[in-house]
Every structure is written in structure tokens, then in C-alpha cells.
Amino acid sequence: MKTRIIALIVAAVLAIGGGLVLVNYVRTADARAFDGAELTDVLVVASAVPAGTPSSALENAIVVRQVPTAYVVDGAVTSIDTLVGLIAAVELQPGEQVLASRFVTADQFGENSGSIPVPAGLQEISIAVDAQRVVGGQVVPGDEVGIFTSFEETSDDPASTRLMLSGVLVTSVATAAGVEDSGSTGGLVLVGLAVSADDAQKLVYSIEFGRLWVSKQDDASKPAKDGAIERDGIPG
């Protein structure tokens, strides 16, 4: 009987010890995955944040995470103090890095409620692109952007990329849970654009059959000099 009791106690101790080892293994998984990489503390969205949420109400919706420095998005916030007095201009989704560009003052938010009207005569169309394809998601309503399109090679035409549209007005910006790329993007960005009917057709065609990149522009931005570029047009 004593032998059986001792055996049960030993088994219980081993089970507890094994559980502690497993917990420690899980807790250190992220550290092992980033082993050798330079890490930076950034704020990451833990639960959905509606547009219009003041920074003072973010305490339970964001967490500090260590990510490889190479994966830190431009404009990523490292301290909540940076956002004091600001309001989320767009909805923030879990998993994305908190960006300063997605926050505005109360007056700015009140002026457009996170979006701006479409100018008369134009149409509003939205495109969904990975954050890295839209300046890390750092465009806001009122910005002007350029739209680059890339098409794969066909039997009749070589693969090419061109600046299709310039000076396109951004009417809204929102995020959507979706594609994640090594922690560097945090998902898709939905960008509303005000365009003419002809340009809307070009956009839809490019979305259906090609790939898009969005560039942030200003009044001094210049158009591409050489039109569409093909592989043999890139200097070696």
C-alpha cells in the first residue's frame, strides 16, 4: 500500500512539473521565434476600436508587444502618451500596430466624422490593399494619392508597372482583419477614392486582373517620365 501511495505522489509531482515546463515553453515561444533579432516595443491593437474613440479610452484595447525592428511600421506608436488628446479617425482592428497617422484632434474628427464628402460629379470607389501597399496605412481622408498598377506577362504583352492615376482624393480609410505578413502589416486597409467614371473603370479592371500600389502625393508630386516600365527598362 505504501509503495502505491508513493508511486501516486511521484506521478503527481511529475505531472505538475511537466505542466510547468509546458507553460514556460508556450510563454517563451515568441522569444524563440525572434531569437537574435533586434526587438522594439510597439503598441498593438488587442480588441476592435471604433472610429471616434478617444485615446484616454484605449487602455484596455491596446497592448505593448515586442516585434522585430525590421517589422515596425513607419509611424508606429511606442507610448500611449503620444496620443494624449487625440481621437481614432478610423476603426482599428485587432493585430495591427497603432499608428499616429490614424488619430486626429476632436475638431478634425468632428469636421468629417472620419470621412469627407465626394466632390460633385465624381464617384466613390473603395480598394482593399495590404497596408504595405498603401504607405503602411498612413493615408487619411483628404490626402491625395497615386495609383500604380502591375500586370503579369501574357502571350501578347510583357509584365509591366505604371502610374495609372495621380492626384486621387482619399475620402475614407478603414482597416479590416485579414492578411497578415510576418507581423509587418496587420491586415488590409480599405481606402475610399473619389474618381471619375472612366477612372473607376480603370481601377476596377486593375483590381480584377492586376495588382495595385498606392503612393502618397502632394501638390509638388511629379508624374512618371517614361510611362509604363517593363523588366528590360530597369537598369541592371
The range of the structural domain enclosing residue 165 comes to 115-220+227-233
Query: For residue 123, what pLDDT band results from cuts at 50, 70 and 90?
Result: very high
Owner of C-alpha cell 490626402: 143
Answer yes or no: do 146 and 201 share one domain: yes
- Is the confidence at residue 226, as pLDDT, over 60? yes
Instruction: State pLDDT tens for residues 58-69.
Output: 888 999 998 898
Cell match 485587432: residue? Answer: 94
HEC letters along 171-195: EEEEEECCCCCCCCCCCEEEEEEEE
* Nearest-angstrom CA–CA distance, 51 and 203: 27
Percent of the chain with pLDDT over 90: 18
Top-ranked range on mean pLDDT: pick from 103-117, 118-132, 199-213:
199-213
Domain of residue 58, CATH code: 3.90.1210.10
Per-residue model confidence (pLDDT) at position 224: 65
Cα 21 from chain centroid (whole Å): 35
- 3 domain-assigned: no
Confidence class of residue 3 from pLDDT cuts 50, 70 and 90?
A: low
Percent of the chain with pLDDT over 70: 69
Interval 150-184: pLDDT, tens: 988 777 778 888 889 999 998 888 776 443 443 44
In a domain, residue 10? The reply is no
What is the reported pLDDT for 189? Answer: 83
Q: Residue 199: pLDDT band by 50, 70, 90 thresholds?
A: very high
Choose one of 70, 89, 111: the last residue of a domain.
Answer: 111
Write the CA distances from 92 to 5, 9, 104, 192, 214, integer angstroms: 56, 51, 13, 16, 20
Among 126, 154, 153, smallest CA distance to 139 is for 126
Higher pLDDT, 35 or 204: 204
Measured between alpha carbons, how far is 149 from 200 in angstroms, rounded to an integer?
Answer: 13
* In contact, 210 and 150? CB cutoff 8 Å: yes
pLDDT band for position 11 (cuts 50, 70, 90): very low
98 and 119, same domain (yes or no): no
Same-domain pairing of 159 and 130: yes
Mean pLDDT, to the nearest integer, of 98-121?
75
Provide the pLDDT for residue 30. Answer: 53
Q: What is the pLDDT of residue 138?
A: 78
What local confidence, expressed as pLDDT, does residue 23 receive?
39
Q: Give domain status of residue 76, yes or no.
A: yes
The predicted-structure confidence for 27-59, as pLDDT tens digits, reads as follows: 455 555 556 678 889 999 999 888 778 888 888
How, if at all, do strands 229-230 and 211-217 pair?
unpaired
Q: Mean pLDDT, the chain, as a whole number?
A: 76
Q: Domain for residue 32, yes or no?
A: no
Contact, 138 vs 99, CB < 8 A?
A: yes
Please say which residue of 92, 111, 130 terminates a domain: 111
**Last residue of one domain, picked from the residues 111, 141, 158:** 111
Residue 19 located in a structural domain: no
Rounded CA separation 126/212 (Å) = 12
Counting the structural domains of the chain, the total is: 2
Asked, for residue 15, whether it belongs to a domain, the answer is no
The answer to whether residue 227 scores a pLDDT higher than 50 is yes
What is the pTM for the complete model shown? 0.50
Report yes or no on 7 lying in a domain: no
User: Which amino acid is located at 102 in the chain?
Assistant: R
